[in-house]
């Protein structure tokens, strides 16, 4: 039995996916040109430099693929709810970007895509599928664009028409065709209407802490705070200087964007932060053993980077506080066996002492 797009949309929504689109699989020549250019110029994240052919050719992942289903989960929580999440009783708090609020979105996605796949197979046992989110071979946001779900902003983020840039994307490759005609018309209309939607606005460019958005649609990944916070090892003084209170991720360019001011909010319970909270206690984080870190952060999207990177970031944030009351928590790390933690702690101590002297 053939599946119509409306049937697919209904089934996907029943599994908790309010955003659904489809793409006809083919070799994405336009993506190849962009990736090669970005890699050559050094303007991309490390993960985009690998396996470029796989990113552009869905048939290398699934030879029998006939349709790519694009799925999205919005994760922006209303500001009034966010304010209630900011604890007042602790002095030293860091910040997790919204991408790391609540349960790890990879887990949420995989669970729901598995349920959707089983539902499709129940109606058509011959269907075969493969599902991916974020770490898959193809580029999620590029597929969302091809599916006509929105447009790219000056900050290089993808904007869904209803939910703005605060959306997680995943996709499923299936070996059955779905009628693309309705989607093709939609894609063309969106591309025409939003082809330069950000013109006359440069708020994200001005607000970026690392000045990573050097010009419209040009992101210098080496200066993006989100990327810097994920790096392992010792950060340069310049990299440390662009970190403020974040220990994982950065939402600045999204928070200042006018388009995001009128988006629909998400009421997804899975993305409401509990443990860890949206604003983690830095002193507590620094004192966690690996076992305790895994218990508190293990189901969070930031956990993959491990406690060492987050502790290094926490030390840098304490340094930026300029508060001498932070010194007792920092000083023990100046003699830590791990060079990256020791370096961050020494930098933080100097930063605070300089602030006091001024």
Task: Tell me which of 170, 193, 216 is where a domain ends.
Answer: 193
Range of the domain at 232: 203-357
Q: What are 133's strand-pairing partners? A: 170
pLDDT in tens, 70-116: 999 999 987 544 545 555 556 799 999 999 999 999 999 999 999 99
pLDDT at residue 290 in the model: 94
User: What share of residues in the chain are helix, strand, coil (percent, to 5)?
Assistant: 50, 15, 40
Dig out the tokens for 296 from the structure: 């508190």
Distance separating alpha carbons of residues 323 and 345, to the nearest angstrom: 14
pLDDT at residue 182 in the model: 64
Q: What are 167's strand-pairing partners? A: 74
Q: Is 175 a catalytic residue?
A: no
Looking at the structure, tell me whether residues 216 and 343 fall in a common domain: yes
**Concatenated DSSP letters of 277-303:** -SS-BHHHHHT--HHHHHHHHTTSTTG
In a domain, 274, yes or no: yes
Looking at the structure, tell me whether residues 234 and 177 fall in a common domain: no
Beta strands in the chain (DSSP E): 19-23, 67-74, 95-96, 129-133, 150-152, 158-160, 167-174, 213-215, 218-219, 246-248
User: Which of the residues 30, 57, 126, 134 is marked catalytic?
Assistant: 134
| pTM reported for the whole predicted model | 0.91
Looking at the structure, tell me whether residues 182 and 315 fall in a common domain: no
Maximum CA extent, the chain: 75
Task: Tell me which of 162, 193, 224 is where a domain ends.
Answer: 193
Please name the helix (run of DSSP H) or strand (run of DSSP E) that holds residue 79, with its range, or none. helix 79-84
Task: Tell me which residue of 313, 315, 327, 335 sits closest to 355, measured CA to CA.
Answer: 327
pLDDT in tens, 254-306: 999 999 998 998 888 999 988 888 999 999 999 999 999 999 999 999 999 99
Looking at the structure, tell me whether residues 161 and 212 fall in a common domain: no
């Amino acid at each position: 039995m053939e599946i119509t797009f409306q049937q697919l949309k209904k089934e996907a929504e029943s599994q908790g996916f309010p955003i659904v689109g489809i793409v006809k699989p083919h070799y994405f020549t336009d993506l190849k040109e962009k990736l090669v250019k970005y890699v050559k110029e050094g303007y991309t994240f490390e993960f985009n430099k690998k396996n470029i052919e796989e990113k552009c050719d869905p048939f290398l992942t699934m030879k029998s693929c006939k349709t790519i289903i694009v799925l999205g989960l919005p994760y922006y929580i209303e500001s009034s709810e966010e304010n209630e999440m900011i604890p007042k009783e602790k002095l030293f708090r860091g910040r997790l970007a919204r991408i790391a609020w609540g349960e790890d979105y990879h887990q949420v996605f995989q669970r729901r895509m598995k349920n959707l796949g089983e539902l499709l197979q129940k109606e058509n046992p011959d269907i075969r599928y493969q599902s991916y989110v974020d770490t898959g071979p193809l580029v999620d946001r590029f597929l969302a664009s091809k599916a006509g779900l929105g447009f790219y902003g000056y900050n290089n983020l993808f904007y869904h028409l209803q939910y703005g840039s605060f959306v997680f994307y995943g996709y499923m490759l299936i070996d059955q065709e779905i009628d693309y005609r309705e989607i093709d018309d939609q894609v063309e209309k969106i591309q025409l209407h939003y082809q330069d939607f950000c013109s006359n606005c440069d708020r994200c460019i001005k607000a970026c802490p690392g000045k990573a958005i050097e010009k419209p649609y040009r992101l210098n990944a080496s200066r993006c705070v989100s990327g810097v916070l994920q790096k392992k090892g010792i950060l340069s003084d310049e990299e440390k200087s662009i970190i403020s209170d974040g220990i994982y991720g950065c939402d600045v360019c999204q928070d200042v964007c006018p388009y995001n001011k009128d988006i629909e909010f998400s009421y997804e319970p899975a993305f409401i932060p509990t443990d860890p909270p949206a604003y983690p206690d830095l002193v507590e984080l620094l004192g966690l053993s690996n076992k305790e870190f895994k218990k508190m952060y293990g189901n969070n999207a930031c956990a993959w980077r491990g406690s060492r990177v987050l502790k290094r970031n926490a030390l840098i944030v304490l340094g930026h506080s300029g508060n001498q009351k932070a010194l007792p928590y920092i000083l023990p790390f100046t003699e830590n066996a791990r060079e990256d933690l020791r370096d961050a702690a020494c930098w933080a101590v100097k930063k605070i002492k300089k602030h006091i002297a001024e």
